[in-house]
Every structure is written in structure tokens, then in C-alpha cells.
């Protein structure tokens, strides 16, 4: 019955919006943390930032430093800073939908907040000024939180940092990956047209 379907669809959409509003609640709260960056320990980016502020960059760089291999890895392993994790993430996130970029910036504000740190992990210092042990505890608290939203926040930062770190060629040998092979010279295969070249149809 179309009528029933339509009503069901409206209800479903209403539920979705409600869930979406609640789901976005945590990030909305980030706006109520005006002092989150008051004492952020800044780091110098390598170049001009495209999306993040200096404070946001500093939080991301501090988190990436803990998400990448730490001191126990030994000197062979470059730091997250050495492969410019935060700078590469800034460049990437400058390209995504502006709304997604804004969410990411709010997430970094939450991550830095001492108030949030105190509530989530009993660590009241800004993330950038916390000890390495406290920073790991904060990441662990977000990661294992019973609140799905905190787990989402952890995954957002974790994935970006680790994807950036481990896709860097200087890491390949350290994880036993020899890198892309040489492309063999095969007989020329039919290819697609390249603008503005015209390539005749390839017999099927």
C-alpha cells in the first residue's frame, strides 16, 4: 500500500534525523568549549596549512605521534612527525566535503579539551600538554568507550594517522613490504581514449 509505505518512510526519516541530531550532539558540544585551545602546545607545521588552524594541527600532530609506532619501536622507525602525518592529513581533509572538514576540526577541539579529558579518562590537561602515558590513556579511553560516539572519534583520528603513516614508502621495508613491483613490458593492449585523442573502437 503506497500510503502505508509513505508514512513508514516519513517515520523512518524522522527517526533518522533524531538519531542524526543526537549523533551530532557530541560535535555540537565542541562549540561550547571555547577555551579548549587556550594552552595548546603548538608545533610548527612544515608548510602553510590548508584546512586546520595552528592549534588544530598541533592536536592532530600530537595524536599522530602516539598512534604511529612509539619509542619502543627503536630508531629505525621514523616518527609521525618525520613522515609529516599531520601535514598530509591537513592536505587530504582540505579536499573532502566542507561539512566533513568542519566535523573533523570540532573533533580535534574535543580531543584537546582538558574538560573532556577529565571526564573521559581522568586526565584534566590539554591533550597536547599531557604526558605520553596520559595521552595513550586518553586514546585508549576513547577507543574502548561504551559511548559509540567516542569510539567513532577515536577511529576517525586513528585511521587517518595510521593510513598516512603506513602508506609512506619509507615505512615499507619496516613492515616487510618490498613495494610495488616493476611493471613488466607487455605487448601493447587496447587502451581507452585520452582527451582529446580519438581511439578507434577495439574489436570485441
Partner 1 sequence: MSGPGRIVDGADLPELSSIEVDYVVVGSGAGGSVAAAVLAESGAKVAVLEEGGHYTKRDFNMQESWAYPALYQDHGNRTTDDLAILILQGRSIGGGTTVNWTSSFRTPEPTLRLWAERHGVRGLDAATLAPHFDAVEKRLDIGPGNPDDVNANNRKLMEGAAKLGWQPELIRRSVKGCARLGYCGMGCPLDAKRSARTTYLADAVAAGAQVFADCRVKLVESDRGRVRAVTADVLDRASDRPRARLVAYARRGVVLAAGAINTPALLLRSKTGLDSGQVGRRTFLHPTVPLISFYDQPIEAFYGPPQSVAVHHFADRGAQVGYFFETAPIHPMLGALALPGFGDSHRRLMERLPHVQATIALLIDGHHDDPGGGVEVNGDGRVKLHYPLHASLREAAVSALADMARVQLAAGAREVMTLHETPIVIRGEGDLAQIAAAPFGPNQHTMFSAHQMGGAAMGDDPGRSVVDSRGRHHAIENLWIVDGSIFPTSLGVNPQLSIYAHARLFATEIAKTKA
The footprint of partner 1 on residues 138-167 (CB under 8 A) is 139, 143-144, 148, 151-152, 154-156, 158-159, 162-167
Q: Give dist(CA 52, CA 56) in Å, integer.
A: 6
**Does residue number 67 form part of the binding site for partner 1 (CB under 8 A)?**
yes
Task: Note if the bond before 196 is cis, omega within 30 degrees.
Answer: yes
Contact positions with partner 1 (CB under 8 A) in 168-197: 168-169, 171-172, 174-177, 180-181, 183-184, 186-187, 189-197
**Does residue number 61 form part of the binding site for partner 1 (CB under 8 A)?**
no
**Does residue number 70 form part of the binding site for partner 1 (CB under 8 A)?**
yes
Contact positions with partner 1 (CB under 8 A) in 120-139: 136, 139
Considering the complex, what minimum distance in angstroms separates the CB of residue 160 from partner 1?
A: 8
Q: Give dist(CA 193, CA 197) in Å, integer.
A: 6
Closest CA to 87 of 48, 126, 138: 48
Kindly tell me which of 44 and 194 has the beta carbon lying closer to partner 1. 194
**Does residue number 75 form part of the binding site for partner 1 (CB under 8 A)?**
no
Kindly tell me which of 82 and 148 has the beta carbon lying closer to partner 1. 148
Considering the complex, what minimum distance in angstroms separates the CB of residue 100 from partner 1?
A: 7
Q: Give dist(CA 49, CA 43) in Å, integer.
A: 12
Q: Give dist(CA 84, CA 163) in Å, integer.
A: 12
Contact positions with partner 1 (CB under 8 A) in 3-42: 3, 5-6, 8-10, 12-13, 16, 19-20, 23
Considering the complex, what minimum distance in angstroms separates the CB of residue 38 from partner 1?
A: 27
Kindly tell me which of 32 and 186 has the beta carbon lying closer to partner 1. 186
Query: What nine digits make up the cell of 109?
Result: 577541539
Among residues 21, 28, 94, 119, which is the contact residue for partner 1, using CB under 8 A?
A: 94
Q: Give dist(CA 101, CA 107) in Å, integer.
A: 10
**Does residue number 199 form part of the binding site for partner 1 (CB under 8 A)?**
yes
Instruction: Give every CB contact of residue 90 below 8 A, 6+ residues apart in sequence.
Output: 45, 49, 50, 51, 52, 57, 60
Closest CA to 43 of 60, 21, 68: 60
Among residues 73, 82, 118, 119, which is the contact residue for partner 1, using CB under 8 A?
A: 73
Largest Cα–Cα separation, the chain: 69
Amino acid at each position: 500500500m503506497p500510503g502505508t509505505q509513505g508514512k513508514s518512510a516519513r517515520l523512518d526519516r524522522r527517526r533518522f534525523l533524531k538519531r542524526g541530531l543526537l549523533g551530532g550532539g557530541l560535535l555540537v558540544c565542541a562549540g561550547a568549549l571555547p577555551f579548549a585551545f587556550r594552552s595548546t602546545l603548538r608545533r610548527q607545521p612544515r608548510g602553510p596549512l590548508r584546512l586546520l588552524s595552528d592549534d588544530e594541527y598541533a592536536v592532530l600532530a600530537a595524536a599522530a605521534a602516539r598512534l604511529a609506532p612509539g619509542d619502543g619501536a627503536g630508531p629505525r622507525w621514523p616518527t609521525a612527525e618525520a613522515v609529516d602525518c599531520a601535514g598530509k592529513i591537513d592536505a587530504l581533509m582540505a579536499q573532502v566535503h566542507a561539512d566533513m572538514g568542519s566535523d573533523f576540526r570540532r573533533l580535534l577541539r574535543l580531543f584537546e579539551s582538558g574538560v573532556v579529558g577529565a571526564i573521559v579518562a581522568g586526565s584534566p590537561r590539554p591533550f597536547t600538554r599531557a604526558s605520553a602515558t596520559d595521552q595513550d590513556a586518553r586514546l585508549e579511553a576513547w577507543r574502548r568507550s561504551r559511548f559509540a560516539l567516542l569510539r567513532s572519534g577515536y577511529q576517525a583520528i586513528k585511521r587517518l594517522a595510521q593510513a598516512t603513516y603506513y602508506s609512506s614508502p619509507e615505512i615499507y621495508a619496516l613492515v616487510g613490504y618490498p613495494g610495488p613491483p616493476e611493471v613488466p613490458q607487455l605487448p601493447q593492449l587496447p587502451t581507452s581514449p585520452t582527451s582529446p585523442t580519438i581511439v578507434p573502437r577495439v574489436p570485441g
